Structure 1
């Protein structure tokens, strides 16, 4: 089991993919980013109340990093 609140990208990714069994697809990531980038969205407000603004910014960065990884992997597969 991962830390309660991940502190690194690797911990966060492990938590999402292994502990929560969520596949980080481009579509899933895009949906999460759309919500988290809207400070007035009800879900985003709840996230900020629980974890703080600094962690929201970190999560946005980690989702962007995961999206880049997903797109890079897709490009590599199409070239192969």
Structure 2
């Protein structure tokens, strides 16, 4: 089964929080950014292979936006 890649921040956020049931906590976001920023990470290479370079970059942007929103809320 395959799912379409999210095309917007709102869709991406829905996928993470509602479909996957993962809260977007600051810790989770920072861990994901560390992994996504490391192109030597096996899972990051696989992510790029499966979803493409531009979606990988967009996903990093969405994680950074989510982190910024959490930091502003505090």
TM-score normalized by the length of structure 2? 0.92
Bigger Rg, which one:
1
CA offset at residue 4 of structure 1? 2.2
- Greater relative contact order (Cα 8 A, min sep 6): structure 1 or 2? 2
RMSD (Å) for aligned C-alpha atoms:
1.0
Gaps of 5+ in 2: none
Number of paired residues?
72
1:1-20 correspondence runs (5 A): 4-20=4-20
1:1-80 correspondence runs (5 A): 4-74=4-74
Gaps of 5+ in 1: 75-80
